[in-house]
Structure 1
Amino acid sequence: MPNPFRATKNLFKSKPTMSTSSSSTPAPTTEPTADQSTDAQPGPAEGPKYDASKPLDILFLQDATGSQGPYISSARSAIQSICTKISESASLSQGAIRFGLIAFRDHPPQDTSFVTKNFGFTSDVGTMITNLASLVASGGGDGPEASTAALADALNMEWEEDAVKIVVLITDAAPHGIGEPGDGFPNGSPDQNDPLEIARQMAERGITLYVVACEPSLSRYLNAVDFYKALCQITSGRMVPLLNAAQLGDFIVGSAVETVETEKLINEYQSTILEDVYGQGKPVEEVIQQMQQKMAERKTEIKTFNVENPYEQSRESESNVNVWAQAKSLGNAKGKTQAIQTPRLKKAFQSSGGSYGSYGAPPPAPVMARPGASARPMQQMRQSVSSFGKSWFNGSRTPSSAPAPPAPAAYGAPVDYAAAPSYASAPQAQQVSLMSQQVDQSQTNRIVMQSLMRNAKVGPGGVLTPTGEYSGAKGVQMPQVKSEVSDAMDTGA
């Protein structure tokens, strides 16, 4: 049995969970295939070579509240295809891939069913299908959910030490404690865990965080989009907005394959990066530019996951991302972010049948229903019904998309339940692709920053204190970078 990758410092506090044991029987292997390019080079001729047999641990943190039924069903129906496509695209045997699952809802009294339900890791696809089939989307309480509790559980999973480690958080809700109106736990997760510190420890341990933002619901929160971008930025991961539940499998495959491809380059260049920054004291920005120049000269290509960006970009949003990413704790960031006064989603991705309501700072008054209409609990505002079907990921294409489920009205703002938007006219379909292309600046940033963070104590404000071979060397400051969702996903902007 491989040595588990355990959390040994700042172990996060336990919380009410329901654990379910799972099998670890390997799945049958298939002959891997890999795309080849005649003029592209995978890396330098010198130095250590990437071991293609390096395993992959991919952990799903699945919101299991009332609005998530389509996403749970989509993951269950696509899991076999996900395993096969990751295996073929990343040149991995299927037995080298372990899937993990942690479901989460909310803390009592907001939800009394469970906070997190940890199914562990398994390499058996059938077991993963069974685990997903056991989840029923229901409950939820005050809008924000227990995603911080799920992240804490993820950090303490028994990761394989030498595996490529990926966490995929799938949610349409904010975490507690980031300033959302009506939050039942406004001071943060009641287990006292802070998601910013969890993300920093993930970065130290080589765990890359992806957040699949289920839209249009997530952008209805005041701060959730910017906050999740910041969490991903800390780990050099990505936040990917998803408008059609049927495409969830594509998003998981693309995220995993690009991470495995990036890991190959980290393995090739890490020793050089560490010596340049920690050994020779070169500025991080200079090393990033040198690495980018080297990648360009070698025409280095990796399989890259491109997602059309449905968000409007703004300076306020970028500022908020950096405020969260640089903050020591949630409390330190409160009051420092700026309100976004305009809709988050571009008009092309909004339904033509109705307005998404006010995006201004909500009044302190409770949510009100139209006179004569009955008010509904906050969690019901997030429940929706969406049709979905199979979606196969065959490179660049415009997917056939069902209309996105209706978004709830802005939290804290008046709601007219009798005037629900019509979806007779569907929003624009979101384009996605997975293709080999030359390494871009955001990917080079990721290669350099992950190399440095895995060999350092990652502190608040992006301060890296070298550990291991370079322990005692001068610490460095992580440069503030444009959020990954802006850099890597503006293919359709």
Structure 2
Amino acid sequence: MDDDMYEEGYPYMSYYAAYPPRLMATPPRPDPVTHYDVRFIDDVSMRSGKAIDLVFVLDCTGSMQRYINSVRDHIFAICDMIRGEEGLNGTDDLRVAIVNYRDHKPQDNTYVYKFNPFTSDIAVVQNYLKGLTAAGGGDGPEAVTAAMAACLTELEWRREAARMVVLIADAPPHGIGESGDQIKQGDPDGHDPLVVARAMAQHGITMFMVACEDTLSNYSRAVDFFTAICNMTSGVMLPLTTADLLAMTIVGSVLENMDMERLIGEIGREVAERIKEKGESLQSVEEVAQELHERLLLRNEQTKQVQLPDVYIQTEASRKNVSAWMNAQYIYDAAPNILPVVSRRLTDKFRKTNHNAGFQYTPGGRLPPRRRPSSEAKSEPVAIAAPVPSSPSRAGTSPTSPGRRIVQDFKPFGASSTNMSVFGAPMLPTGPGGGMFGSAGRTPNMNAMRGRDDNDDDDDDEGTQLRRDAISLDQARRIATQSVFRAGRLPL
């Protein structure tokens, strides 16, 4: 994304007027890449216990410098927070990789993507980040798909680790039908983001999208598209209010996902088997997710949860668009069926908050304080602390995550031929606006809870927080979805 588009009040369509259609034939669409041989390594030197492989995928086009700076300035503090909260004491328990991208020729003549492989030496990561600058980018959409594919083709993942990708961007990929897209056929090398997302899900790689606003929502299709991609990988779309909050958002997302990984490790096999018994449809995933949620609530299961201000307004058209993206094999199958979303995408309060903040980045940023175990306050928010200076990660920190009650008897579900769950409670509605799926049972929309409906006038906004609370239905859906993907049975 170019710098000019980021300026407040810059008219969206006039931005694209600077890039008139080229008087050349559109290149033919390349044959799609349909399979990825993800490389895994068995790290015998790693101590038994938790480990994390974390990839930052960074848009390095014109308007993204402040976000690059934020990752660079906070990478030590981010890693230190994750280590402390998760009790990662081993030298190699946390590895970080970087994939940075711009765009394909002729839109950008510098590079499509570059990467720094996984390393536990965070100083190496920071030095790599110091060399990244934001420039160029050509038309609006960028080489997002190439960068996503590079996570599968260029990096070596550990089988023992929780695997996560954090995409930080303010523009969509080519080929989804955005106005002004000069590479309408999509990725020139045949990568398709829907195929890549399904491959990530099958290999246990969760993708989070940090949406840099209010730029991304200026595109007509980007919000719904990235929501679908995150849903497919059991991740979450995280609209970012300011670059100051980037470090907090990353830390919270990783910590929340680690709780999901622990539960998948405990009960994922049983969840996948239960879904198989019910027919392996997306509707069965929803039903099992609700059963799972009830069972875990009875176990008093609590998880870390990132609480974000309401940002996106949900509409019937946006829900249908998410469904269309998720249920298409390739993006060119879905693109003709995407509905226009005529209403504004961002809430008035979000716009006001960001206008007052000026979309500024303050070196030092904000990170939440570490938490100690406490038997009090089941849902106590973690306030955003004053700026925390970056510091090298420290080994030997003690875990601060509260102890968890292990679920050992999830498997005995019991069949039910009624609309009642196995616990005797009525199933939640599964039509648009309720539950995970639409009326056809094929519309996962796990991010709806983070948006709002047109008639939602609630003006409460507590800011970005990290909480520990009773497991949410949204999280149960993520566990169920990821369990069935990892079992090799794709419900699409």
CA distance in 2, matches of 1:280, 1:195: 29
Please name the residue that 1:218 is paired with.
216
Corresponding position of 1:287 = 288
Q: Which residue of 1 aligns with 2:5?
A: none
Instruction: Tell me the TM-score normalized by structure 2.
Output: 0.70
Alpha-carbon deviations, 1:182-206, whole Å to 9, x = none? 1110111111111001001111000
C-alpha deviation, 1:387, in angstroms = 3.4
2:303–2:471 contact (8 Å) kept in structure 1: yes
1:91 deviates by: 2.2
The aligned amino acid for 2:234 is S
Residues 349/94 of structure 1: CA separation in 2 closer, same or farther (3 Å cut): farther
Matched, 1:231 2:229: yes
The aligned residue for residue 360 of structure 2 is: 386
SS in 1 for 2:139: coil
Q: Tell me, in whole angstroms, the C-alpha distance in 2 between the residues paired with 1:199 and 1:303.
A: 24
What secondary structure does 2:337 align onto?
coil
Which residue matches 1:337? Answer: 338
Partner of 2:329: 328
1:316 is displaced (CA, Å) by 1.2
CA drift at 1:271: 2.5
Q: Against the structure 1 CA distance between its residues 246 and 342, is the aligned structure 2 distance closer, same or farther, given a 3 Å change threshold?
A: same
**Runs of at least 4 residues of structure 1 off by over 3 A?**
279-286, 351-354, 384-387, 394-401
SS of 2:336's equivalent? coil
Cα distance between partner residues in 2 of 1:288 and 1:307? 23
- The CA distance in 2 between the partners of 1:333 and 1:280, in whole Å, is 28
User: Are 1:158 and 2:159 counterparts?
Assistant: no
Are the equivalent residues in 2 in contact too, given 1:177–1:186 (CA < 8 A)? yes
Are 1:452 and 2:484 counterparts? yes
**CA–CA distance in 2 between the matches of 1:284 and 1:172?**
31
How big is the shift at 1:385? 7.8
Across the aligned residues of Structure 1 and Structure 2, the Cα RMSD in angstroms comes to 2.8
- Equivalences for 1:32-431 in 2 at 5 Å? 53-93=49-89, 95=91, 96-156=93-153, 157-278=155-276, 283-351=284-352, 386-389=360-363, 390-394=365-369, 395-397=381-383, 431=463
The 8 Å contact of residues 367 and 386 in structure 2, kept in 1 or not, is answered as: no
Mark the CA change 1:120 to 1:314 in structure 2 (over 3 Å): closer, same or farther. same
Distance 1:281 1:229, change over 3 A: closer
**Which residue is equivalent to 2:395?**
none
For the residue of structure 1 that corresponds to 2:257, the secondary structure is helix
Q: 2:225, 2:322 within 8 Å by CA — same for their partners in 1? A: yes
* Structure with the larger RCO, 1 or 2 (CA within 8 Å, 6+ apart): 2
Q: Structure 1 residues 197 and 228 mapped into 2: Cα distance closer, same or farther (>3 Å)?
A: same
Please report how far the alpha carbon of residue 52 of structure 1 lies from its aligned counterpart in structure 2 after TM superposition: 7.4
Aligned-pair CA distance for 1:68: 0.7
Which of 450, 466, 470 is the aligned partner of 1:438? 470
Matches within 5 A, 1:458-477: 458=490, 462-463=491-492
Change (3 A) 1:385 1:239: closer
Q: The residue matched to 2:95 in structure 1 has which SS? A: strand
Distance 1:258 1:331 in 2: 33
SS at match of 1:121: strand
Identity of aligned residues (%): 36
Q: Distance in 2 between matches of 1:430 and 1:74?
A: 23
- Structure 1 residue runs of 5 or longer lacking an equivalent are 1-7, 14-23, 30-50, 355-383, 402-427, 464-493
Question: 1:437 and 1:133 mapped to 2: Cα distance?
Answer: 37
Q: CA deviation at 1:432?
A: 1.1
Alignment partner of 2:314: what SS? Answer: coil
Task: Give the partner amino acid of 1:386.
Answer: Q
Q: 1:258 Cα shift?
A: 0.7
**TM-score in terms of structure 1 length:** 0.69
Any idea what the Cα deviations from partners look like across 1:116-172, whole Å, max 9, x if unmatched? 011111101101110110101111110100000000001222111121000011000
Change (3 A) 1:143 1:302: same
- Please give the alpha-carbon distance, in whole angstroms, between the structure 2 residues aligned to 1:169 and 1:109: 24
* 3-state SS in 2 of match to 1:308: coil
Number of matched pairs: 365
Instruction: Using the TM superposition, give the Cα deviation of residue 101 of structure 1 relative to its aligned residue in structure 2, in angstroms.
Output: 0.1
Which amino acid is the alignment partner of residue 257 of structure 2? T
TM-fit CA distance, 1:246? 1.3
Give the unaligned 5+ runs of structure 2. Answer: 1-32, 370-380, 388-459
Corresponding residue SS for 2:114 = strand
